[in-house]
Amino acid sequence: NAGVTQTPKFQVLKTGQSMTLQCAQDMNHEYMSWYRQDPGMGLRLIHYSVGAGITDQGEVPNGYNVSRSTTEDFPLRLLSAAPSQTSVYFCASSRDRVVDEQFFGPGTRLTVL
Amino acid sequence: GENVEQHPSTLSVQEGDSAVIKCTYSDSASNYFPWYKQELGKRPQLIIDIRSNVGEKKDQRIAVTLNKTAKHFSLHITETQPEDSAVYFCAASFTGGGNKLTFGTGTQLKVEL
């Protein structure tokens, strides 16, 4: 199993551009989530999904959209990139609920100029 | 929502000494408390977790204690080794809390030779 995969690993955007961060898992996990990691601020939840067709907002959802059309994939869309969205983004999945072990992807380092 | 505070932000110990990291949480309904380790440039990985029905859990050199009355939990690492150097994150969640995991801001542990 590949586990949780993310693409791209690195990305540089200009202010106002849009893009999609990809996340996929091959463990048949129901719960998937997106976090951003900034220095001194830990991991902050952006959006999460408890199953295909179901998504909800986390702590910092503004400027991001998600969808969950399949169990395997959970893409994160930046609608109009801003310098404040410069961060490292991690996707995570767990078997069924948030109180199960979270398996993280390798991360995407995003810079917005 | 849940708020998790973590201290200290940095911790330096001599090899072989013990390290203790403490977290407090705000929501008395929280019942799941995982700890994640993140090595430099890597993804976070679960090292130990505890649920509210127990007060202590051990796994070789690491242990976690939970005080529900005071709403705090701690990570204890004994006989520290250089490979324990990393950032450690605590987190808290509860099953009925909208499936959200709230992380602390992290502790940079450095084990010196």
- Predicted confidence band of residue B98 (pLDDT cuts 50, 70, 90): low
Residues in A touching B49 (Cβ below 8 Å): 101
Contacts of A39 (CB under 8 A, 6+ apart): none
Residue B95 pLDDT more than 90?
A: no
Question: What's the CA gap between A76 and A67, in Å, rounded?
Answer: 8
User: Scanning every residue of chain A, which has its alpha carbon at the shortest distance from the alpha carbon of B95?
Assistant: A99
User: A11-20, A35-44, B37-46 — which is least confidently predicted?
Assistant: A35-44
A100 at the B interface (CB within 8 A)?
Answer: no
Do residues B100 and B4 make contact, with C-beta atoms less than 8 angstroms apart? no
Residue A1 pLDDT more than 90?
A: no
* pLDDT given for residue A35 in this prediction: 97
CA dist A38 to A6, A29, A99, Å? 18, 26, 23
**Which tens digits make up the pLDDT trace of A31-68?**
999 999 998 889 999 999 999 999 999 999 999 999 99
Number of Cβ within a 10 Å radius of residue A22: 15
Question: What's the CA gap between A72 and A10, in Å, rounded?
Answer: 22
* pLDDT given for residue A93 in this prediction: 96
Encoding tokens for residue A36?
């951003």
State the average pLDDT over residues A60-88: 97
State the average pLDDT over residues B76-85: 97
Encoding tokens for residue B104?
């602390």
Residue A99 pLDDT more than 80?
A: no
Residues of B with CB under 8 A from a CB of A: 1, 6, 9, 31-32, 34, 36, 42-46, 49, 51, 89, 91, 93-95, 98-106
Residues in B touching A41 (Cβ below 8 Å): 105
A49 at the B interface (CB within 8 A)?
Answer: no
DSSP state of B105: -
Asked if A44 and B93 come within 8 Å (Cβ–Cβ), the reply is no
Residues in chain B, how many? 113
Residue B45 pLDDT more than 70?
A: yes
- Predicted confidence band of residue B46 (pLDDT cuts 50, 70, 90): very high
Residue A5 pLDDT more than 70?
A: yes
Asked if B100 and A48 come within 8 Å (Cβ–Cβ), the reply is yes
Asked if B99 and A106 come within 8 Å (Cβ–Cβ), the reply is no
State the average pLDDT over residues B57-77: 96
* pLDDT given for residue B30 in this prediction: 87
Phi, psi torsion values for A85, nearest 5 degrees: -95, 5
* pLDDT given for residue B53 in this prediction: 83
> What's the gap in Å between the CA of A7 and the closest CA on chain B?
14
* pLDDT given for residue A2 in this prediction: 86
Nearest CA to A6 among A43, A32, A44?
A32
* pLDDT given for residue A68 in this prediction: 97
